[in-house]
Amino acid sequence: MVMKWNSRLICLFLLILGFHTSAQSQETTWSNWKKERVEELTKEDGWLNLIGLLWLDPSKPYFNQITSDSLALSESMNETTIGKFVIQEDSVWFDFNEKTDRSNSALVYPLEYGKGGGAYYSHWKWTVIERGGKNGVRLRDLEHPALKNFQELPYYDYDSRFQVQAFFEPKFNQTVLIPNVLGQLIEWKVMGYLSFELEGIKQSLMVLDELGKFFVIFSDETNGHETYPTGRYLYVDYPNASGWTTIDFNYAYNPPCAFSSFATCPIPPKENRMNLEILAGEKSPEGH
């Protein structure tokens, strides 16, 4: 009898130890993710140093230094011209003025995601993006004070209630037009829908393709109060062979527009506007 009870106590101890270890591992993973968020925001191609978005006009290809802190496009070259944008059918290049210390052309569009690139001059860097059939010059200040003064992001405490199992229903050859904050309609590939239950309420979220990942743009009842007004973003793992995956809202994060007025953030489609509070993930950043 004593041996039987000892066996039960050992099993209970191992169960508690396993649960504690799993919780510790989960907390470590989440903490590392929060550190990576800071690195993502403060890196050279992050969002804190973004200071301008100028829409390219073929009739105004010249880039001029107006002051030590501002650049502008113009129709003709003058003594302040840094160089000229050359717009080709499938790319955009920047040719530096011979008066600068740059002698080469720089590819500014398209750029491979996460691989850097672009044109540099003084404390600036610029690349070109395409939105709604228009090309925009994305300008960065590599010495922006926000990079030094950045504080940690505010978060809800990790809450396992907002880690839910979801069933994925794939969709094939389906696209959707999603508006961004500029009012432009951007076509996205729809991967499918995730169905799950949260706080006793059945929910469904549209899943988009973002660089080969499952991407969800959603809003909830915390928006405009504790979280960013237009909604938040979330990546989700691919489902298993049975079609099940995990949605962990503790990893929900702010769109770039929470940090810069020069971002072109997509807003949640009507299918992803949730009628409950998601008290998990990033809150609205302070001071932005």
The pair of three-digit structure tokens given for residue 147, joined into one six-digit string? 């990079």
The reply to whether 196 and 182 lie within a common domain is: yes
Q: What is the pLDDT of residues 227-264, one digit of tens each?
A: 999 999 999 999 999 999 999 999 999 999 999 999 99
Confidence check: pLDDT of 2 > 80: no
User: What is d(CA 85, CA 133) in angstroms, rounded to the nearest whole number?
Assistant: 17
CA distance 130 to 140: 17
Residues 225 and 270 in one domain: yes
Note whether 240 and 110 are same-domain residues: no
The residue out of 96, 116, 149 marking a domain boundary is 149
Residue 1 — pLDDT band, cuts 50, 70, 90? low
Q: Is residue 120 part of a domain?
A: yes
Residues 114, 222 share a domain: no
CA–CA distances in Å: residue 235 to residues 58, 152, 217: 37, 21, 9
> How confident is the model at residue 150, as a pLDDT?
86
Is residue 34 one of the residues assigned to a domain?
Answer: no
State how far the Cα of 18 lies from the Cα of 143, in Å rounded to an integer: 47
- For the whole model, what pTM was predicted? 0.87
Query: Do 275 and 216 fall into the same domain?
Result: yes
- 234 close to 227: Cβ distance less than 8 angstroms: no
Instruction: Please state whether 133 falls in left (phi above 0), alpha (psi between -120 and 50) or beta.
Output: left
User: Is 188 in the same domain as 178?
Assistant: yes
Q: Which residue has the tokens 């395409």?
A: 130
- Do residues 128 and 169 both lie within one domain? no
* Any domain includes 186: yes
Domain with 158 in it: 151-288
pLDDT at 17 over 80: no
Lowest average pLDDT, out of 40-54, 103-117, 145-159, goes to 103-117
Say yes or no: 97 and 175 in one domain: no
Q: For the stretch 13-44, what's the b/e string if a residue is b when 16 or more beta carbons lie within 10 angstroms of its beta carbon? A: eeeeeeeeeeeeeeeeeeeeeeeebeeebbee
Per-residue pLDDT reduced to its tens digit, 132-190: 889 999 999 999 998 988 878 999 999 999 999 999 999 999 999 999 999 999 999 99
149, 178, 196: which is the final residue of a domain?
149
pLDDT band at 18 (very low <50, low <70, confident <90, very high): very low
- Helix, strand or coil for residue 61? coil
- The model's confidence at residue 15, banded by pLDDT at 50, 70 and 90, is very low
Tokens describing residue 254 = 């702010």
On whether residue 22 sits in a domain, the answer given is no
Percent of the chain clearing pLDDT 90 (strictly above): 79
Distance in angstroms (rounded) separating the CA atoms of residues 111 and 42: 19
Q: Which two tokens stand for residue 41?
A: 């925001």
Query: Looking at the domain assignment, is residue 141 inside a domain?
Result: yes
Amino acid at the residue 149: N
SS3 136: strand
Report the domain count for the chain.
Answer: 2
The reply to whether 136 and 199 lie within a common domain is no
Domain assignment present for residue 2? The answer is no
- Does 99 share its domain with 202? no
User: Do 277 and 168 share a structural domain?
Assistant: yes
Q: How far from 117 is each of 22, 54, 105, 123, 232, CA to CA, in Å?
A: 40, 18, 12, 15, 28
Whether 232 and 264 share a structural domain? yes
Per DSSP, what are the bridge partners of residue 72? Answer: 64
Q: Which of 86, 121, 149 is the last residue of a domain?
A: 149
Which SS3 state, helix, strand or coil, does residue 26 take?
helix
242 CB-side CA count, 13 A: 5
